[in-house]
């Protein structure tokens, strides 16, 4: 969650430049607005998902499972695809299993391993959520042209790549 609601104005950025040296003001505003927008979207998503007893972490796990050909995969694959630690994934899976949205089954080849399978109850939950989720996105983006949506997605991808490059050094 990004906690800054009062983004800097031109005067604040000018003062920052005087105090700290050159400031790419457009870059700062892009960075802060991206963080704020992402945080706002995530908060709204969590409010929407809360009506189904979920937060985005549990929901993403279910979505990843329904994308699998047999609706089954390993905990380590889920943690990799979700970008969370194995410990975090274990907690997510425990809570989803307690609600009967997933079940653990023995791996067909490696008896020491388990696989995670989406249950009928999990599929039914996603079948309720996903149409409303896509409708929400449609409402949010309906007045933005396709060209603007594609350009924004490309810009966000570039920002993500540059962030990865910077952090990997």
* Contact in structure between 72 and 65 (CB atoms under 8 Å): yes
- How far apart CA 34 and CA 4 sit, in angstroms, is 12
Q: Would you state the pLDDT for residue 109?
A: 81
Fold of 22-167: Arc Repressor Mutant, subunit A (1.10.10)
Per-residue pLDDT of the chain (169 residues; tens, 9 = 90+): 888 889 999 999 999 999 999 999 999 999 999 999 999 999 999 999 999 999 999 999 999 999 998 999 999 999 999 999 999 999 999 999 999 999 999 878 877 889 999 999 999 999 999 999 999 999 999 999 999 999 999 999 999 999 999 888 7
* Per-residue confidence (pLDDT) for residue 93, from 0 to 100: 97
CA 126 to chain centre: 16
- For residue 110, the model assigns a pLDDT of 78
| Neighbouring C-beta atoms of residue 103, cutoff 10 Å | 17
Backbone phi, psi, residue 73, to 5°: -160, 180
What is the structure's pLDDT at 167? Answer: 85
What pLDDT does residue 18 have?
94
Residues counted in the chain:
169
Q: What is the residue extent of each domain of the chain?
A: 22-167
Q: Angle at CA 26, nearest 5°, toward 21 and 29?
A: 100
CB atoms closer than 10 angstroms to residue 152: 12
Q: What is the separation of C-alpha 169 from the centre of its chain, rounded to a whole number of angstroms? A: 24
**Separation between Cα atoms, residue 42 and residue 2, nearest integer Å:** 10
Give pLDDT, residue 2: 84
């Amino acid at each position: 969650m990004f906690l800054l609601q009062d983004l800097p104005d031109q005067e604040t950025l000018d003062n920052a430049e005087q105090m700290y040296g050159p400031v790419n003001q457009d870059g700062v505003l892009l960075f802060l607005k991206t963080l704020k927008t992402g945080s706002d979207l995530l908060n709204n998503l969590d409010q929407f998902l809360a009506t189904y007893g979920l937060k985005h972490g549990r929901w993403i796990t279910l979505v990843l499972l329904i994308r699998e050909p047999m609706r089954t995969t390993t905990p380590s694959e889920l943690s990799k695809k979700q970008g969370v630690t194995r410990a975090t994934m274990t907690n997510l899976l425990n809570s989803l299993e307690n609600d009967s949205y997933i079940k653990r089954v023995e791996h067909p080849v490696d008896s020491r391993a388990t696989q995670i399978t989406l249950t009928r109850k999990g599929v039914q939950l996603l079948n309720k959520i996903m149409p409303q989720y896509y409708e929400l996105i449609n409402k949010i983006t309906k007045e933005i042209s396709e060209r603007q949506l594609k350009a924004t997605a490309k810009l966000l991808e570039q920002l993500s790549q540059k962030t990865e490059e910077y952090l990997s050094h």
